[in-house]
A and B are shown apart, each in its own frame.
Chain A
């Protein structure tokens, strides 16, 4: 009896081994190549192997081997040429002993030329949003010139390239001049705005990068750039701004106003002669950070005057940007259509058919800012 039982037990255990030992998908961590960022460019004529090649992709991955002494590079960059993004990703397998892994990819850079080609751009966005390893929380940038230049940067202030760049983007909580855009924002914006998008611009220098301005995309094509200050105004108009600084001239000196919160509300004020009048109400509060030594600022009359200046500054900058979107770009990326379709659906239905021209000619926006200075720092 006892022998029978042990035979049975052995039989069961042997059978279990059949199911538990074979692991088809095991990859050791040493065999992984962690790709931290991808740059996408249109292929140059001279780099094409066959005429179907459309993309040049650049990658950066950290060097994980232990025997690093002295000023050895801490990260490597690679380049491949192929006809589609995912094909290029898999081409890494032909070049390296490790298997590439994109679960930790933090950013994708688009070259300017890809942004100007509607077909190629659509393909890239589809490829990266369909691929299961790439995450929707990756940051997206446009690079004037070629994206591969970003990978040539040897950062002065940081060991690795990628934490350096994403770190700058994450500062957007503290300054409104930096635009933060993730892949899922891109998908949402391209779908909802029918190919419209504002995408942060990254200018690679020799030893650092310059995050300034933003590209404006209309119908899946790059049509122009916003400058550094305009990004701040854009963030405020889109209710994306959190913290930030506004500097105003007062009493012959520049006064710095710092805010930690910012709120924007849109209100429909009236519809007249086929024109729609909208009110952008902005509300912010913060503190004065710099004034003139020896002069008193802790005075409610003075503070109110500075508040007026700050409000004026925000209003003019915002209105200038609105004009730019209406007259220069002719694309609604400042939330007008979004507001109208959500809160005035009946009105929106009447203008939906030819919304683009309607937006350029018949929408009047007034910006009203309301700033509160609560604190002035340690000095009276």
Chain B
């Protein structure tokens, strides 16, 4: 059931992908990459990104067989009602955990940097409630907010990154290609978690007037993210060397903090880090949040999704408070997301596409 005013333009699809994928992973990816492959870490990121382009192509292909329908609707045609509802519900659970993970990671950094005495609950709730407001606005609202925040996030981001050029020593990226290919390839699944969020396409393409138009923006968006993450990995490795990069929890934060501006007009860029962090998390949560409420409304069989949004805020808040520490949060994240992401991003589209082809469902 799609309402008349819920339409997303191809440009907004690109923005939704970019803003959903850029999340807390941006700050930590360089460390994982350097740990996996040393100075060749950026190569692992690039390869992971290239694989994701294939995944995105498959998702768009699957969706364009069923124009005007989201995953929750066309999966019923493909697999029947019950399996479809189970899958949709799994989607909701996965994104719920994803949002909780993001919220908690964000809260921890805020508490560490800025608001030591502010209760965790207040930080979390104020973030979730703002997201709730936008999600109630519907799909078009989400498309627009992503479109709006994209320049607000990326222009300062690039400027800040540029200030770090004096820190860099590109000889730190040498020796090139001394890691064995086997090691590089085994590192790819570990980095997949940083690309989590592309799965939202399963739903959002359904709101496009012509799904075939999604190919170009979707692929471009994934290429953009890949370049962005590769650049960050290169910058951090060049600035600190691969050994030191692995020591940091958030290498990008250390990178920005190591910058000292000439003339000391603004001495430290801590505030900038926090605002960038805030924006990345906010948009990720908004995009995923809508899918949770939408999936639940489909599973239950109601027409609207609005009424589920506010109760879900409590669920997210509760789950986000479950991990005891940052270490436990990362342990849980590492135990859940690599599997869910590889399932939803690779296994699911291939299987559904094969069944749909076999049974000649949808328009080809």
Name the interface residues of A59-98: CB closer than 8 Å to any CB of B: none
Which one of A2-10, A131-139, A303-311, A312-320 contacts B?
A131-139
**In contact, A135 and B117 (Cβ under 8 angstroms):** no
Q: Does B115 contact A (CB under 8 A)?
A: yes
Which one of A35-43, A200-208, A249-257, A337-345 contacts B?
A337-345
**In contact, A188 and B240 (Cβ under 8 angstroms):** yes
**In contact, B112 and A184 (Cβ under 8 angstroms):** no
Given contacts A19-B126, A342-B175, contact A25 B115 (CB under 8 A): yes
**In contact, B258 and A137 (Cβ under 8 angstroms):** yes
Which one of B59-67, B79-87, B241-249, B275-283 contacts A?
B241-249
**In contact, B243 and A103 (Cβ under 8 angstroms):** no
- Which residues of chain A have C-beta atoms less than 8 A from B257's C-beta? 135-137
Tell which of A132, A342, A345 touches B112, judged by Cβ atoms closer than 8 Å. Answer: A132
CA distance A24 to B247 in the complex (A): 32
- Which residues of chain A have C-beta atoms less than 8 A from B118's C-beta? 24-25
Counting chain B residues whose Cβ lies within 8 A of the other chain, the interface size class is 20 to 34
Chain A min CB distance to B96 (Å): 25
CA distance A188 to B259 in the complex (A): 15
Tell which of B115, B116, B243 touches A192, judged by Cβ atoms closer than 8 Å. Answer: B243
**In contact, B241 and A192 (Cβ under 8 angstroms):** yes
Q: Does A32 contact B (CB under 8 A)?
A: no
Q: Does B254 contact A (CB under 8 A)?
A: yes
- Which residues of chain B have C-beta atoms less than 8 A from A19's C-beta? 126
CA distance A184 to B260 in the complex (A): 12
- Which residues of chain B have C-beta atoms less than 8 A from A341's C-beta? 175
Given contacts A184-B240, A191-B244, A192-B241, contact A136 B119 (CB under 8 A): no
Given contacts A24-B117, A135-B268, A136-B257, contact A345 B175 (CB under 8 A): yes
- Which residues of chain A have C-beta atoms less than 8 A from B364's C-beta? none
Chain B min CB distance to A133 (Å): 9
- Which residues of chain B have C-beta atoms less than 8 A from A182's C-beta? 258
CA distance A25 to B171 in the complex (A): 43
CB-nearest residue of chain A to B125:
A19
Q: Does B330 contact A (CB under 8 A)?
A: no
CA distance A104 to B270 in the complex (A): 12
Chain A min CB distance to B50 (Å): 25
Q: Using an 8 Å CB-CB cutoff, how does the interface string of A175-191 with B read, 1 for contact, 0 for none? A: 00000001010011001
CB-nearest residue of chain B to A187:
B244
Q: Using an 8 Å CB-CB cutoff, how does the interface string of A235-262 with B read, 1 for contact, 0 for none? A: 0000000000000000000000000000
**In contact, A343 and B247 (Cβ under 8 angstroms):** no
**In contact, A184 and B175 (Cβ under 8 angstroms):** no
Chain A min CB distance to B113 (Å): 6
CA distance A103 to B267 in the complex (A): 9
- Which residues of chain A have C-beta atoms less than 8 A from B240's C-beta? 184, 187-188
Q: Does B303 contact A (CB under 8 A)?
A: no
Q: Does B360 contact A (CB under 8 A)?
A: no
CA distance A188 to B126 in the complex (A): 38
CA distance A25 to B114 in the complex (A): 8
Q: Does B331 contact A (CB under 8 A)?
A: no
Q: Does B178 contact A (CB under 8 A)?
A: yes
- Which residues of chain B have C-beta atoms less than 8 A from A187's C-beta? 240, 244, 247
Tell which of A132, A136, A137, A191 touches B243, judged by Cβ atoms closer than 8 Å. Answer: A191
- Which residues of chain B have C-beta atoms less than 8 A from A104's C-beta? 267
CB-nearest residue of chain A to B247:
A191
Q: Does B144 contact A (CB under 8 A)?
A: no
CB-nearest residue of chain B to A103:
B268
CA distance A190 to B286 in the complex (A): 43
CA distance A184 to B240 in the complex (A): 8
CA distance A323 to B144 in the complex (A): 66
- Which residues of chain B have C-beta atoms less than 8 A from A345's C-beta? 174-175, 178
**In contact, B175 and A343 (Cβ under 8 angstroms):** yes
CA distance A192 to B241 in the complex (A): 8
Chain A min CB distance to B326 (Å): 13
Chain B min CB distance to A282 (Å): 17
- Which residues of chain A have C-beta atoms less than 8 A from B114's C-beta? 25
Chain A min CB distance to B258 (Å): 4
Name the interface residues of A126-165: CB closer than 8 Å to any CB of B: 132, 135-137
**In contact, B241 and A132 (Cβ under 8 angstroms):** no
**In contact, A24 and B119 (Cβ under 8 angstroms):** yes
CA distance A192 to B116 in the complex (A): 34
CB-nearest residue of chain A to B112:
A132
CB-nearest residue of chain A to B115:
A25
CB-nearest residue of chain A to B109:
A132
- Which residues of chain A have C-beta atoms less than 8 A from B112's C-beta? 132
CA distance A192 to B119 in the complex (A): 40
Given A104-B267, A187-B247, 15 more pairs with CB closer than 8 A: A22-B122, A25-B118, A135-B268, A136-B258, A137-B259, A182-B258, A184-B240, A188-B240, A188-B241, A191-B241, A192-B243, A342-B172, A342-B174, A342-B175, A345-B175
Lowest 9 CB-CB distances: which A-B pairs, in order? A345-B175, A342-B174, A137-B260, A24-B117, A136-B258, A24-B118, A184-B258, A345-B178, A191-B244
